[in-house]
Amino acid sequence: MRSFLRPIVNSSLEKVNYTLSPKEKKKVDFYYPLFNQIVNIENYLCLKGRKTSRAEAKRMAIISAMATLYDDLIDEENFEKEQYHAIVDKTIAIESITPKIKLIFELDNQLRKIWTPSNEFINALKLAIEWQVISKKQLDASISLDEILSISEKKCGNSSLLWATVVDEAWTHEEKLFIYQSGLVGQLVNDLFDAFKDREDGVATFVTKVDDINKAKEIFIAACIKLNQAIKQTKASSNYIKKTIQRLACIHSFAMVALEHLENTNKKYGMPWDISKASRAELVTDMAFIKNKLKLVQQSIFLAKL
């Protein structure tokens, strides 16, 4: 799929006379599209007993590249949600069109050569962008834990529903509840692994806000229980339900290993949990260690049984 997307990104950059940094380039034409297909779409379709089709993968690749550019734009600009909606509709004022917006427009043109976005997709995209904008509240150190969890749920739940509109499936209400909840759990996993980065960037997450890492563990496990219950409530076959739960448990087991690492850091410094005291090594879970890799199997089995 990289061989499909990279030429499109390169030609689009050349057409709008814009340059991405090497780090941005890898994120746009490789890492983010790969992540969305493996960790999002393939998870949802596991419940249907199938893989992503080539046509679905192509449109997902371009949309993922656009999505990461939208994320960067939200971080860089101070637009109101209406202005971002205007970018989606291509009605934004000419004087507000930056080179990055031109790149988004060109990628959208390439997308429309292979797929016509549905109204459901457009509306889902606008809602996902809206919650991404709202999530900037997490740069305010005074934000509460409850508000962080609410934003995380709505931001990532609606983003997950956006990805679900890209594939050729008529999702039921119960399936959408599963997809929505998977977004929250995914964000919690990300927060646990990005504890050091988020602290350095001044982003408040549930990891930085709890006064005890055991509380973070309770929040995570409760979210995983709700996810498993949502999967079981769908009308999929028992075999597909089991496979979906097991697949997600394997992915989310990384969070359990990270929690154990953070629990050890918490014990070292005592209560209440103060993330500012910890070193980088005490916050970053190194999965290169064999002992951490071995823990994944045990934690996968644990999460699948919740």
- Distance between start and end Cα atoms, the chain: 35
Per-residue pLDDT tens listing for the chain (306 residues): 668 999 999 999 999 999 999 989 989 988 888 888 888 999 999 999 999 999 999 999 999 999 999 999 998 888 888 999 999 999 999 999 999 999 999 999 999 999 999 999 999 999 999 999 999 999 999 999 999 999 999 999 999 999 999 999 999 999 999 999 999 999 999 999 999 999 999 999 999 999 999 999 999 999 999 999 999 999 999 999 999 999 999 999 999 999 999 999 999 999 999 999 999 999 999 999 999 999 999 999 999 999
Distance (Å, whole) CA 181 – CA 187: 10
- From residue 234, give the alpha-carbon distance in Å to each of 86, 191, 228: 36, 28, 10
Please indicate, yes or no, whether the overall pTM of this predicted structure exceeds 0.85: yes
Residue type, 243: K
Each residue of 225-261: b (16+ CB within 10 Å) or e?
ebbbebbeebebeeebbebbbebbbbbbbbbbbbbeb
- Model confidence pLDDT, tens digit, residues 139-175: 999 999 999 999 999 999 999 999 999 999 999 999 9
pLDDT at 108: 97
pLDDT at 201: 96
- Model confidence pLDDT, tens digit, residues 234-284: 999 999 999 999 999 999 999 999 999 999 999 999 999 999 999 999 999
- Structure tokens belonging to residue 124: 């889902």
Say which residues have a Cβ less than 8 Å from residue 31's Cβ, sequence separation at least 6. none
